[in-house]
Amino acid sequence: MTDDPIGRDVVLFSSADWGDRYWTNKQHTAVRLATRGYRVLYVESVGIRRPGLNALDLRRIVGRLRRGLAPIREVSKNVWLLSPLTIPVGHRYASVGALNRWLLQSRIGRWLKRRGASRPIVWTYHPYMLALAEALKPGAIVYHSVDDLGAIPNVDHAAYDAAEKKLLERADHVFVTSRALYDRCAVTAGARTHYFNNVADIDHFGSARASAPLPADLEAIPHPRLIYIGALSDFKLDFTMIAEIAAARPEWHFVFIGDEREGQHSEDIARLEQRPNAHFLGWRAYAALPDYLRGADVALLPQQINDYTRSMFPMKFFEYLAAGLPIVATPLPALVEFVGYHHVAAKATEFIAAVETALQTPSAGRLPLDHPILRANSWDARLDSMLATINGQAAGGAGG
């Protein structure tokens, strides 16, 4: 990286589409960079895994091709959306991959040129973007690792690891959201690796503490209400344990706000849906989530412990904490440093005991909204620390 000043333009390579129902680190970061005056080009995912010859993947390919024909457009103040027009087998054939990069580089280059932009920050969540990032002559390359994407089913683990290693060798700054990801990335990136766990919109979810009417579908469910908010992914959530708890405590009502991930048809969920104390209300808009948390008694993080979740820091943790709810979670490694702020349970019997404790002492450990742990884990505080790292000021993350 040269000593020239870094520009106020960001090319953000996401591993999630802008319109995904469940906003994650990528969309929140883009919006908050935009509020700071950065011009953000949000580049939707070019895909992580190789597509198969099935109806779901073919629909995805058709949809991606259709979106790829759309012009770059402003979707939020200072945020522009680019849907890549790519040939789907780029991971498999080098020549196709080179063509895809050229097509995408040309569109990004024209966007930057029209704005008189130079030396943009390239902020990538996607490990396959190094060659394209370097071609943009960036002021800085940021690799933001928020999950071990290589552990997702059907991903080519060897290709993913090789691409990530090259990116780690080159990136100016590596941001990670869990200690497990820190340990993985620091082997290659060393002191350029900085730990910034996932955070929450504290004020938004803090509004769950205010008195207000409950959604009718939630109000119809008896107490105690145990709530989970998020995608119902069968490789993340332990539905076997949930079913065991629901059977042992039929007076507890389990409320799920979310739907199954695309292409998933879980038999475990189908069986759980038959129980009178399991309530699957479906997806709800982000703006409505505090209304559902307001009516809950305990918040749940019943994750499986596997290669993917060992590297995962659930965004829901600080959302639940901001809402003022007691939290019961399986022993996620990323949450070890916050053990004093939630109940931990490894199996069904322990989970039942932890929920009983939470129900008996609902206000124990409830933090005021101005508590330092909440203020330090807001999106604005996190972005302050990240931008300080990029700009060479005192960094707030581990390893900085």
Q: Are strands 79-82 and 298-301 parallel, antiparallel or unpaired?
A: unpaired
Q: Are residues 234 and 323 in the same domain?
A: yes
Q: Are residues 63 and 212 in the same domain?
A: no
Average pLDDT of span 335-362: 96
Q: Render pLDDT for 292-314 as a digit per residue (tens, 0 to 9).
A: 999 999 999 999 999 889 999 99
Q: Are residues 108 and 14 in the same domain?
A: yes
| Pairwise CA distance, residues 98 & 320, whole Å | 44
| Pairwise CA distance, residues 320 & 199, whole Å | 11
| Pairwise CA distance, residues 129 & 138, whole Å | 13
Q: Are residues 219 and 349 in the same domain?
A: yes
Q: Which residue has the higher pLDDT, 339 or 47?
A: 339
Q: Which residue has the higher pLDDT, 87 or 358?
A: 358
Q: Are residues 208 and 330 in the same domain?
A: yes
Contact 299, 326 (CB under 8 A): yes
- CATH code at 170? 3.40.50.2000
Q: Are residues 137 and 233 in the same domain?
A: no
pLDDT at 69 over 80: no
pLDDT at 143 over 80: yes
Average pLDDT of span 77-90: 82
pLDDT at 56 over 50: no
pLDDT at 86 over 80: no
pLDDT at 37 over 50: yes
Q: How many domains does the chain have?
A: 2
Q: Are residues 136 and 282 in the same domain?
A: no
Q: Are residues 23 and 170 in the same domain?
A: yes
| Pairwise CA distance, residues 304 & 307, whole Å | 10
pLDDT at 59 over 60: no
Q: What is the chain's percent helix, strand, coil content, to nearest 5? A: 45, 15, 40
- DSSP class of 120: P
Per-residue confidence (pLDDT) for residue 2, from 0 to 100: 39
| Pairwise CA distance, residues 240 & 233, whole Å | 13
| Pairwise CA distance, residues 86 & 175, whole Å | 27
Q: Measure Cα distances from 349 to 107, 310, 342, 352, 354 in Å.
A: 55, 22, 17, 5, 9
Q: Is residue 112 part of a domain?
A: yes
The residue count for the chain? 400
Q: Are residues 186 and 233 in the same domain?
A: no
Per-residue confidence (pLDDT) for residue 395, from 0 to 100: 44
Give CA angle at 280 (278, 282), nearest 5°.
170
Backbone angles phi, psi at 232, to 5 degrees: -95, 75
Q: Render pLDDT for 7-19 as a digit per residue (tens, 0 to 9).
A: 799 999 998 999 9
Q: Is residue 367 part of a domain?
A: yes
Strand (E) or helix (H) holding 195: strand 193-195
Contact 205, 184 (CB under 8 A): no
pLDDT at 60 over 80: no
pLDDT at 66 over 70: no
Model confidence at 396, in pLDDT bands (50, 70, 90)? very low
Task: Choose among 303, 385, 315: nearest CA to 25.
Answer: 315
Q: Render pLDDT for 153-175 as a digit per residue (tens, 0 to 9).
A: 666 788 888 999 999 999 999 99
The mean pLDDT value of the chain amounts to 89
Per-residue confidence (pLDDT) for residue 400, from 0 to 100: 44
| Pairwise CA distance, residues 123 & 38, whole Å | 12
Q: Is residue 399 part of a domain?
A: no
Average pLDDT of span 137-150: 89
Q: Give the residues across from 232 on adjacent strands.
A: 260
Q: Are residues 248 and 317 in the same domain?
A: yes
pLDDT at 335 over 60: yes
pLDDT at 273 over 90: yes
Per-residue confidence (pLDDT) for residue 156, from 0 to 100: 76
Per-residue confidence (pLDDT) for residue 152, from 0 to 100: 67
Q: Is residue 4 part of a domain?
A: no
Q: How many CB atoms lie within 10 A of CB 256?
A: 22
Give one DSSP letter per residue of 376-397, joined into a string.
TTBHHHHHHHHHHHHTTS---S
Q: Measure Cα distances from 317 to 228, 273, 308 in Å.
A: 11, 25, 17
Average pLDDT of span 187-200: 97
The label of the residue with tokens 């993947």 reads: 57
Q: State what percent of residues in the chain have pLDDT above 90.
A: 74
Q: Are residues 138 and 96 in the same domain?
A: yes
Span of 89-103, 201-215, 369-383 with lowest mean pLDDT: 89-103
Span of 43-57, 97-111, 327-341, 358-372 with lowest mean pLDDT: 43-57
Q: Is residue 2 part of a domain?
A: no
The label of the residue with tokens 């100016």 reads: 172
Cis amide linkage into residue 224, ω under 30° from 0: yes
| Pairwise CA distance, residues 47 & 97, whole Å | 12
Per-residue confidence (pLDDT) for residue 381, from 0 to 100: 97
The answer for 365, left when phi > 0, alpha when psi is -120 to 50, beta otherwise, is left
- The residue segments making up the domain with residue 20 are 9-199+378-390
Model confidence at 91, in pLDDT bands (50, 70, 90)? low
Q: Render pLDDT for 239-258 as a digit per residue (tens, 0 to 9).
A: 999 999 999 999 999 999 99
Q: How remote is the C-alpha of 318 from its chain's centroid?
A: 13
Span of 64-68, 109-113, 174-178 with lowest mean pLDDT: 64-68
